Amino acid sequence: MRQIGIYVQPYYEAAREPGGTPRVAVGRSFDGLASFYAAKGRYLTLAEVVDAATGGLAQVEQAVRDFATLAGPFINGYAFCDVANQQAIRAKALDWVEKNPYEAMFMERLPAKSSNRRQALV
């Protein structure tokens, strides 16, 4: 399988043709978010720091769940055929997440789970 037709509007649309680029619609362009693992990891870091549901990010939380439900079984089923490659992809995604934190987690208007947002990331 080369392409999965997943659509989680308004955030993600699969590429229209094999080999094409998916459309990831976020505040600014993040090429790394086209990776399932990077997008999921980036959201999970946010969820560790702020209360997404009460902070007005419930739609984002639902989109992550929808994407994981729709695409997760296909992506993980394929990825775990080659565990070494999956681990390399996951490590690359985590590195990207560390270098591109979800800036919303540092916004004071979003309710934090901890008094020290940066420390909550560790």
Query: To the nearest whole percent, how much of the chain has pLDDT over 90?
Result: 8
Asked if 36 contacts 75 with a C-beta cutoff of 8 angstroms, the reply is yes
Does residue 5 sit in helix, strand or coil? coil
* pLDDT for the residue numbered 66: 87
Q: What is the mean pLDDT of the chain?
A: 81
pLDDT, mean of residues 8-20:
81
Asked if 110 contacts 47 with a C-beta cutoff of 8 angstroms, the reply is no
CA 103 to chain CA centroid, Å, is 13
Q: Which run of H or of E encompasses 7? A: strand 7-8
Identify which has the larger pLDDT, 1 or 63.
63
Give the range with max mean pLDDT: 21-25, 62-66, 101-105, 113-117.
Answer: 113-117
Long-range contacts of 12-15 (CB under 8 A, 24+ apart): 12/39, 12/63, 12/67
Tens digits of per-residue pLDDT, 80-117? 788 888 889 889 988 988 888 888 889 898 999 989 99
pLDDT higher than 80, residue 1: no
Query: To the nearest whole percent, how much of the chain has pLDDT over 70?
Result: 89
- How do the domains of the chain map onto residue ranges? 32-120
